[in-house]
Structure 1
C-alpha cells in the first residue's frame, strides 16, 4: 500500500495545469476533418468495436468520430492526462451530437474525462485511476433506492468506461436533453448497467472562501438490483449512507462523485493525509 501511495504522490506532483480550449475551437477543428481522413476512419472503426451503433444513426457517427479525433488531437498536442468537457447543451445545439462516448473511450484508456466542465471531478477521477490502475467514472448521487437507506442510484447520461458495465455497450441518445433538443441532436450516449463488485468513491472540491482543498473518500458495493432508467446506471450500497449524504450537503460538496472498481481507499487516504495534507473525510 505504501509503495502504491508513493507512486501516486510522485505522479501527482509531476502534474501541471495545461491550456484550456474553448468548445468552439474543438468544434471548428472537428468540422475541418475530411471524411476520407485516415485518422477519422480509424476512429469510426474503433467506436464500432467499442459499442453497438443503431443503423439510423450512422450519419451521426461521423460527427461523433470527428469530435473524438479533435479532442484527442488537442489533448495529445498539449500533453493532457485528464480532461473536463462542456458536454451540454451547446455541443448538441451547435454541432449535433453528445460527448459521452468520447469521454467513455478516453476513460477506458486511463485518461479520465469528466462531464459538465467538472475540473475537480476530473482531478478526482485521475486520483482514483492513479491509485487503482483502472478506469474511473463520474456519477451523480442521484436517487433513493426504494426504502433501503444504505442504497443510492448513481447515474449519468452515458459516460461509463466499458470495463464498468456488465453487458455489451450500445450507443443511444440523451434522455432529458433528447426530449428538449430532439433525439437526433443528442446521439452518443453510452447505455450500460454496472456489473457487481466493490468500488471506491472519492471527491475533491475547492473551498474558495477558505482557500483550501477539501475531499471525502469511502468504499461500497455495486449491486445487481434492477433499475428502469436509460444511460449508465449503478445501484450502490454504502454502509451508513445517510450520514455521508448529510456530510456532503452540509459541507457544500457537488453532487458529482468519482468512482473506480476495487478498494483503493487506504492508498488514497495514505497519500492525501500523509503527503498532500488536504482536508479529508474518510467514511466508515
Structure 2
C-alpha cells in the first residue's frame, strides 16, 4: 500500500445498474441519476456506463455485461468495490456475468429500489424486491460473495442507505488494504513475550508482507544524526505541536526526534504502511528514550504502530482503522473493574494515538523506569480514553490450523472512576465473561486493537466473507 499520511480515504465504486427489458425503462434512467447523485453527495467516485454505451447506461444483456466488465477492467486499480443497484427487476444473468468477466475480486453491495404502493401499475412497477432475490441467487451460483443492505429494499435518498454505503466503504477499505499491506517489524519481540509469536508465512499467504530490521540499525542511524539536522528540527517541532511536553528534558526530545526521522525514512524506503516496534528494554537502556510518542504520532496519522513487535495485533489495528477511517490503538485486556462482570480496565503504558484520548500529555514510563531509570524513559503518552462506543478486534496466526483467526465486537468506554497511569479506560461489554472465556479457550493474545467507532459488522464481513479468515463476532 505504501506510506500514507493524512485522513482521506475516498472510495471508488464500480456501479452496475440492472435492467430487464420488459420492465419500465424510465425507472432505470431515473434510478441511475439518483444513485450517481447520492454517491457524489456522500463523497464516493463512481465508475459507471453512460447512456451512450448501453440503453439507459444499464446492464441488461450479455453484450452490456461485456461493455461494463471492460470498463471496470480499465479502472481496476481505482475500483474498491462494486455497487449493484436495481431500479427495476434487473437481469440477474447479465449482472453475474459482468462481475465474472471483470474479475476484480472486490466486495459487492446489492441494492434494490423500493416500490411505491401508489404506483403499482405496469408503467411504474419496479419488482426490485423480487429481482434482488434472483440476483443474489445467481451470484451464489457463480460463487461471487456479496453484501446486503440493512433493509431488503431501500430508497437511495434515505439515511439508512447512506449508512449502508459508508459501512460498505469500510468493508472495501479493509479488504483492499489487507490484501496489499506491507508492515515493518523493528527489532525482536521481548524475550519473555511468547504471546506475540506469529507466522510471517501465514500473513504472506494472505497478502500481508513483513519487512524486518534489527533495532541496532535503527538506533545506529539515529545516533548518526546531528542535533542541527533540519529533519530532526522539523520532527522536534512536530512533537511539540502534537502534545504537551512540559517538563520533558531537551535531550530526550532530541532523541525522540531522531528516532522519528529514521523510522519515517525507513518506512518510505520500504513502502510500508504500519510498524511493530521492540519498545523495551533495549531502546531505553541503549538509546535513553521510549518510542511511545513517535508511535502515537504515526498511529494518529493513520500509519498504525504496535508495541512489543505484535505484528498480528498491528493487523487488527490496521483493519479497524480502514473500517472506521480513523486511528486505532492497541491495549491490554488488563484488569477487572470491581465486581461488575461486564466491565474491565484496558491499559497500555502508552503509545495510544491522540485521537482516542480525552486529554493527553507526555511523561516518563513508570513501569520500566524502575529497571532502567526515569531519565531513560521519557516519551510515553498518558491520559484517559474518551468515553463512548468502541469496536475491538484481535487477529492471530494459527500455525496449527494454517489459518488467520480473529474476533471482533463492540462495547462502551465508560466514565467510571479510575486513578492510574499510562493510557487507560474502563469498558463495558455485554457478556464480557463469555468473551474472556472464548479468548482464553482459543489461546488468543492479551493485546487487543480498539477504535472509537462501531465497525464490527464491517470487519466481520471483510475478514470473514471476502478474505476467508475465521472470524468470531461477539454479540453478548
Q: Does 1:223 align with 2:445?
A: no
Equivalent-residue separation in structure 2 for 1:218 and 1:56 (angstroms): 38
Equivalent-residue separation in structure 2 for 1:56 and 1:79 (angstroms): 32
Contact 1:18-1:78 within 8 A present in 2 as well:
no
Segment drifting more, 102-111 vs 46-55: 46-55
Show the 5 A alignment for 1:115-194. 115-167=307-359, 169-194=360-385
| 1:219-277 deviation line (CA, Å, top 9, x unaligned) | 00111122111110111111100010011011000000001111011111111221111
Say which SS state the counterpart of residue 149 (structure 1) adopts: coil
Structure 2 gap ranges (5+): 1-166, 183-208
Equivalent-residue separation in structure 2 for 1:12 and 1:194 (angstroms): 27
Say which SS state the counterpart of residue 130 (structure 1) adopts: helix
- Which of 168, 177, 181 is 1:11 aligned to? 177
Q: Which residue of 2 aligns with 1:101?
A: 293
Q: Does 1:58 align with 2:224?
A: no
Contact 1:86-1:116 within 8 A present in 2 as well:
yes
Larger Cα Rg: Structure 1 or Structure 2? 2
- Which of 236, 247, 260 is 1:68 aligned to? 260
Equivalent-residue separation in structure 2 for 1:3 and 1:46 (angstroms): 31
Say which SS state the counterpart of residue 258 (structure 1) adopts: strand
- Deviation of residue 13 (structure 1)? 1.7
Equivalent-residue separation in structure 1 for 2:370 and 2:173 (angstroms): 46
Q: Which residue of 1 aligns with 2:241?
A: 49
- Deviation of residue 19 (structure 1)? 2.3
- Deviation of residue 56 (structure 1)? 4.8
Contact 2:169-2:323 within 8 A present in 1 as well:
no
Cα root mean square deviation, aligned: 1.1
Contact 2:277-2:305 within 8 A present in 1 as well:
yes
Segment drifting more, 38-47 vs 10-19: 10-19
Q: Does 1:195 align with 2:361?
A: no
Q: Does 1:27 align with 2:219?
A: yes
- Deviation of residue 39 (structure 1)? 0.8
Equivalent-residue separation in structure 1 for 2:248 and 2:218 (angstroms): 26
Equivalent-residue separation in structure 1 for 2:172 and 2:301 (angstroms): 23
| 1:35-94 deviation line (CA, Å, top 9, x unaligned) | 111111111111111111133522211111111111111111111101100000010011
Equivalent-residue separation in structure 2 for 1:194 and 1:7 (angstroms): 25
Contact 2:330-2:447 within 8 A present in 1 as well:
yes
- Deviation of residue 10 (structure 1)? 2.2
- Deviation of residue 209 (structure 1)? 1.7
Equivalent-residue separation in structure 1 for 2:322 and 2:312 (angstroms): 15
Segments ≥4 residues shifted beyond 4 Å: none
- Tell me which of the two structures has the higher relative contact order, counting C-alpha pairs closer than 8 angstroms and 6 or more residues apart: 1
Q: Does 1:265 align with 2:456?
A: yes
Contact 2:336-2:343 within 8 A present in 1 as well:
yes
Contact 2:170-2:325 within 8 A present in 1 as well:
no
Equivalent-residue separation in structure 2 for 1:262 and 1:18 (angstroms): 27
Say which SS state the counterpart of residue 20 (structure 1) adopts: strand
- Provide the TM-score with structure 2 as the length reference: 0.58
Contact 1:198-1:221 within 8 A present in 2 as well:
yes
Structure 1 gap ranges (5+): none
Q: Does 1:90 align with 2:282?
A: yes
- Deviation of residue 6 (structure 1)? 2.6
- Deviation of residue 175 (structure 1)? 1.4
Alignment CA distance shift 1:63-1:277 (3 Å): same
Contact 1:18-1:80 within 8 A present in 2 as well:
no
